[in-house]
């Protein structure tokens, strides 16, 4: 595979899985109760480098890290599904806003950037992992990371990740306009609806992970 083909394939796969446009509602869900738009913008911008660093770590150390702890990718996928399941249920019931609001009042923060920095750790799970960087993202990152090392495409590979993360930032910045259109009641409806969607994603992730584990178990015992 030449460099142009590698870049095109990696970008298409990573963009489709990270899904910057489709994940906007989840960003809205977890930033609805922030004190003001400036803090939301700061969070959107800061999330870019966090996701960028996470994907790069997955590219070069994801496979070895999971192997070191004896965790298979299907097991990681099931763990992510369980996390999403609990979050989805809290979104549907409306209790998710209590935890988010407690961390997003912005009181005592000197600047929106400091408020955003304090808020980022509260949404690492599940917004960064496993919504933006889930089992599928790790798989793609590991696969193309190995190809980048073997083919000498490290700089183009890092550039692809940077571009995708920039698109995520831009899409999340656009969420402010979407929030103004929806209004408070509309946002609450969106939260609950996407809670149901997230629940479906969790069930699908669990089923795929369990299926892969079962297939590996059968293969190991038949061979």
pLDDT at 159: 97
Residue indicated by tokens 């929030």: 179
Of 119, 95, 123, 131, nearest to 34 by C-alpha is: 119
71 φ/ψ sector (left φ>0, alpha ψ -120 to 50, else beta): beta
What is the per-residue pLDDT for 106? Answer: 47
Give helix then strand counts, H and E, for the chain: 10, 0
d(C-alpha 111, C-alpha 209), whole Å: 42
Looking up tokens 């990573």 gives 14
User: What is the residue-level pLDDT of the chain in tens, covering all 223 positions?
Assistant: 789 999 999 999 899 888 888 888 889 888 877 768 898 999 999 999 999 999 999 898 887 887 888 888 788 778 878 877 887 787 777 665 555 555 445 445 568 888 888 889 888 887 898 889 987 788 888 888 888 988 999 999 999 999 999 999 999 999 888 877 877 677 677 778 877 877 887 888 789 889 988 988 888 777 6
- What pTM was computed for the model? 0.75
Q: Under DSSP, is residue 167 helix (H, G, I), strand (E, B) or coil?
A: helix
How far, in Å, are 34, 56, 74, 166, 196 from residue 29 at the CA level? 10, 26, 27, 20, 13
d(CA 188, CA 209): 31
Q: Rounded CA gap, 48 and 50, in Å?
A: 5
What lies within 8 Å, CB to CB, of 39 at 6+ separation is 104, 106, 109, 112, 115, 116, 119
């Amino acid at each position: 595979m030449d460099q142009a083909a590698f870049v095109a394939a990696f970008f298409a796969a990573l963009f489709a899985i990270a899904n910057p446009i489709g994940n906007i509602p989840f960003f809205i869900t977890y930033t609805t109760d922030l004190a003001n738009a400036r803090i939301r913008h700061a969070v959107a911008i800061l999330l870019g480098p966090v996701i960028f660093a996470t994907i790069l770590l997955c590219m070069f150390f994801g496979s070895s890290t999971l192997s070191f702890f004896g965790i298979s990718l299907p097991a990681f996928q099931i763990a992510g599904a369980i996390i999403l399941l609990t979050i989805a249920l809290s979104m549907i019931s409306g209790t998710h806003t209590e935890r988010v609001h407690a961390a997003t009042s912005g009181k005592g923060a000197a600047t929106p950037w400091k408020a955003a920095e304090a808020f980022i750790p509260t949404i690492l799970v599940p917004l960064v992992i496993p919504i933006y960087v889930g089992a599928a993202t790790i798989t793609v990152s590991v696969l193309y990371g190995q190809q980048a090392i073997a083919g000498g495409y490290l700089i183009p590979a890092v550039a692809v990740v940077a571009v995708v993360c920039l698109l995520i930032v831009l899409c999340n910045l656009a969420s402010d306009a979407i929030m103004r259109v929806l209004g408070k009641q509309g946002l609450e409806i969106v939260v609950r609806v996407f809670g149901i969607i997230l629940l479906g994603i969790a069930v699908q992730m669990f089923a795929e992970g369990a299926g892969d584990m079962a297939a590996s178990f059968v293969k190991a015992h038949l061979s």
